[in-house]
Structure formats: C-alpha cells, structure tokens
Chains A and B, each alone.
Chain A
Amino acid sequence: MSGPSVLFDVPGPKARRISLVSSIVAGLLILAGLAWIVLTLAAPRQSGGITLPGFFDPSRWDIFADPEVWSFIIMQGVVGTLQAALVASVLAVALGIVLSLLRSAETAWIRIPVAVVLEFVRGMPVLLMMLFILLVLNTGAYWAVVAALTLYNGALIGEALRAGLASLPRGQREAGLSLGMRPLQSKMLVEFPQAFRQMLPIIVAQLVVLLKDTSLGFIVGYTELLRVNMNNLGSFYGNRYLFSLFVVTVVLYLAMNLSVSAFARWLSKRTASKSSGVRLDPDDPGQAMLVAKASASARQSTNSAGAGPGDH
C-alpha cells in the first residue's frame, strides 16, 4: 500500500485543520516530554544532604575538553571496536561464501551436515558463543569476540547467499553447463557473482548487526568503546562523569551505525534499480532473508514442476 490516501476520503478543509491542530498538539506534547526529561536531568540533585550539580552542569562535562581523553577514547575505544568489527566482517564474508557453496553442494553428505551446523549456530546467542570460545579454546577476549562474530554472521551470510543462489533462474546454470563448464566452474563464474550482487544489501545490513554486536565484548572483557568509556574512564574519573560518558558512547555508536546503515540503504536502492528484482529491505536482514529464502523455494518448486524432477 503506497499511501494511506486510498483508505479514506481525501481530507477536506475541516479534516485537514483537525489533523494540523492535532499534529501541533502532539508535537507540543512530545516536546514537553523531552523538555521534562532534560529539565529533570539538569536540576541539581540532593544526595544524603549534599547538593550535586545537574547532569548538564559544566563540571560534569569538563573532562571532554581534554584532548587526551578524546585520544584515549578514539585510540582505544573506537579503534578497538572497529578493528574487531572489520576483522570479523572480512572473515564472516569469507566464511559465508564457503558455507553457501558447501550448503548448496550436490553431494548430500556435505550439504546436510553443513545445514545442521548452520541451524545450530544460528539458533544460539552470540554471547554464548563468545563465552564458549573464551573458556574452551582459551583464546583471549579479542579472538573470542572476533571468532564468535565471524561464526554467527558467517552462518547468516552463508544462508543469504544460498538463498540468492537458489533464486537464480535455472537457465543460468544450464547455460553454463551447456558451454562445457564443469559444475563448480559454472557455480563460481556464472551463478555466484549474480547471487552475491543480489544479496549484497543483506550482507551489508548484516555487517551493521555485526558492528552493533561488537559491544557484547563489554561482557566478555574485550576492550572496546563501551568498556573504555564506562569502565576505564568511568573508574578513572569517578562516578560524577558516568552519565556524560554514557551519552558520548551512545553518540559515537550512533554515528558509526547510522553511517553504515545509510550505506546499506543506498546500496539496496542502487542494486534494486539495476537488477529490477525484488527489493530486499536492508533495515531488517532477518526478515529480508526470510522473504528471499521463501521466494527462492517457491521459485524452485515452480521450476521443478515445469521442468520435471531437478537435480536438487
């Protein structure tokens, strides 16, 4: 449904006035709510007979005037987060490619165990995987974070790529084979590049999830942005700055995530207009993948109904 205008009559002058007035009223209510929160935070607080300054008082923010604090946040926190995210992204995409090829292999004794393992990995919390790697393989926090993120997101990317492979028209493979390519050649040279391009928005969206999940390193003890700000700086400068540090952390995370999300959205728009296929929503990779998988299997079933029993 493109717009709500189909659902009701075109609003006349009266209805438009009502909606304008209610829009202003609702806007004022929202602003009042925000103002209340801000004022409550800004008000000086009583704590055991001592009056503490409000949360927007300069004395709670003065550490951020110190360039050394910023360089610590950037060098330790942001770099730690981005390093884990980057390494895990590269490894996850590589693992995803391998898994998608294994998962769509012709031989059943490769395909089925891989499918079971993928199902197992996808149904587990990443945090549990991190703990498992940390305790069992004894790798240290960094590799626990990277390996768990790689495994989990690799499984998801692999599943997405497999759905992309399955949703390609059968003729692509047949054309490759009829030119004398071996099955693997046709898969790598003909089918896979198309599937990868089609699934690229989902993959990038999954990488946003990966970036967000690096913050789980906080719980297993990896030194990333959240830990640097809340533990290291928080205990160094004391409780007084806890709120300001939290606000700075949120802003930094939002800046990183929003820019990668915007990139995913741009990419999805671009690929959709080029390949004119279904546009997969990059905002929700899980859901987009569900749609992709279902339409892939739907296409497969119609294919095999039309062209007799297929090879898989």
Chain B
Amino acid sequence: MDAVIENLPTYWRGFSMTLLLLGVSGVSALVLGTVIASMRISPVASLRGFATVYTELIRNTPLTLVLLFCAIILPYLGSRLEYSVAAMIGLSVYTSPFVAEALRSGINGVPVGQAEAARSVGLGFGQTVGLIVLPQAFRMTIPPLINVFIALTKNTSVAGGFFVFELFAGGRELANANGDAVIPILLGVATLYLVITVPLGVIAGQLERKWVVQR
C-alpha cells in the first residue's frame, strides 16, 4: 500500500496520459467513423466499396500490429511524429470502423416503416433523415458507442507497450522498481482503469435496457 501512495505522482502522470489518449483518439475516431459510415450508406458505389474494404481490413488486424506500425514502421519510413501522437493516430484508425459499424447498425435499426411514413406525408430526404430517422437512430447508437469507448479505454493500454508512458507503462515501471509490492501496484493500476470502464458499462447497460423496453 505504501508503494502505491508514494508513487501517486507516477500514477497520475500515467492516468492523465491515458485520459489524453482516450479523449483525443475517441474524438478523432468518432469523426473518422462518421465519415466511414456515411461513405458506407452513400449512393456512390466506389466510396461504399472503399469503406467496406477499410472496415473489414482494419477490424481483422490486431491492434498490436497497428500500433507497432505507428511506433516502429512509421519512423522507419521517415516520419518524425512523437510516439504519443503516433499512438493516438493508431488508436483512432483502429477504433474508427467500430464507430462506423455502431452508427450504421443504429441507422439500420430504425424500422423502414418510419421512413416510409415520413416519405408518404411528403417529407423530403433532408427532413426524413433529420427529423425522423436520425433522432431514433441516435438513441440506438449511444449504448454501442459507449461500448466502443470502453474497449478504447482498455486498448489504450497497448500503447504502453510502444514507448508511450501511460497507465500500463507506468504500472510496469513501478512494478519493476518495487519488486516487493507488485500486487498492490498492479491492483492500483487496475482500479484506475475500472474507474473509467465500470461506470461507462453501467450507463450503457441502463440506456440499452430502457430503450429496448420502449421499442
């Protein structure tokens, strides 16, 4: 326990980096994912094909490979990015297809009758999508999106293996430095992850339950 309290600054340094990774790559994955999702439902066939292939390839590539590419292969190819920035890029790219799928399945989850009804009372494309489909799709996408962010939180730990000093890397360093107090130190790290993931999980479950009953 003492080892944990003594090293609180290190914990804090790691935790803030984890939060930074989570925030930055979360937001950019959201943007990138939205772009991919809109490509996938667009009427332009080549964009649709591109988005499908992109989703399929990225989703079947292990995150370790993506981050290894960002941390080792990119500098080797001549990039001068900082490791943390490279990790953010890797995490956003890896997360974006999951975001896109969550958005797409939300839109697909709205019954066709809703759009048909909107069309039959004379609403145009913009009105149908903006007033009828998206408000309903929104509530169906929130729980899966929260799930994506929970996964992202856990995935930031992989960046710790690739020269980014975040919570996992901090924990590893502390565990190596304090061989007699490995268990409390790692439990401390686990607690900090749980502080983020458990509340998010509870919120996602409750929202899903609420909206499933309403549907």
Residues of A within 8 A of B (CB): 1-2, 4, 6-8, 11, 19, 22-24, 26-27, 30, 41, 45, 119-120, 122-128, 131-132, 135-136, 208, 212-216, 218-219, 226, 230, 239, 242-243, 246, 249-250, 253-254, 257-258, 261, 281, 283-284, 286-287, 290-291, 293-295, 297-298, 301
Known: A24-B46, A219-B158. 7 other contacts (CB 8 A): A1-B110, A2-B112, A4-B41, A242-B72, A246-B65, A253-B62, A284-B102
Q: Is the interface of B mostly helix, strand, loop or mixed?
A: helix
> If A213-B62, A286-B151 touch, does A298 touch B197 (CB 8 Å cutoff)?
no
Give the complex CA separation of A226 and B71 in angstroms: 14
Once bound together, how far apart are the Cα atoms of A123 and B144, in whole Å?
Answer: 16
Which residues of B sit under 8 angstroms from A120, Cβ to Cβ? 190, 194
Closest 3 CB pairs of A and B: A27-B46, A219-B161, A125-B157
Query: At the interface, yes or no: B4 with Cβ under 8 Å from chain A?
Result: no
Contact partners of B143 in chain A: CB under 8 A: 290, 294
Count chain B CB atoms within 10 A of each CB in A26, A125, A126 and give the residue with the most: A125
Q: Is B82 an interface residue (CB 8 A)?
A: no
Could you tell me the distance in whole angstroms from the C-beta of B169 to the nearest C-beta in chain A?
Answer: 10
For B190, what are the chain A residues with a Cβ–Cβ distance below 8 Å? Answer: 120, 124, 128, 132
Q: Which of B46, B65, B157 contacts A226 (CB 8 A)?
A: B65
User: Which A residues touch B208, using CB under 8 A?
Assistant: 290-291, 293-294
Is A136 a contact partner of B62 (Cβ separation < 8 A)? no
Across the interface, which residues of A come within 8 angstroms of B61, CB to CB? 212, 250, 253-254, 257
**In the complex, chain A residues whose CB is within 8 Å of the CB of B68:** 218, 226, 230, 246
Q: Is B1 an interface residue (CB 8 A)?
A: no
When the two chains form the complex, which single residue of A131, A214, A286 contacts B171, counting CB atoms closer than 8 Å? A131
A294 to B59, CA, bound (A): 25
Q: Is B32 an interface residue (CB 8 A)?
A: no
**Chain B residues near A8 (CB-CB < 8 A):** 124-125
Q: Which residue of B lies closest to A283 (CB)?
A: B101
A/B pair count, beta carbons within 8 Å: 188
Q: B65 is contacted by which of A19, A41, A136, A250 (Cβ under 8 Å)?
A: A250
Check A123/B209 contact, CB under 8 A, given A286-B151, A287-B105: no
- In angstroms, how far is the closest chain B Cβ from the Cβ of A213? 7
Give the number of chain B interface residues (Cβ < 8 Å): 75
A residues less than 8 Å from B150 (CB atoms): 123, 286
Nearest chain A CB to B170's CB is how many angstroms away?
11
CA distance A245 to B68 in the complex (A): 12
Task: Tell me the minimal C-beta distance from A126 to chain B in angstroms.
Answer: 7
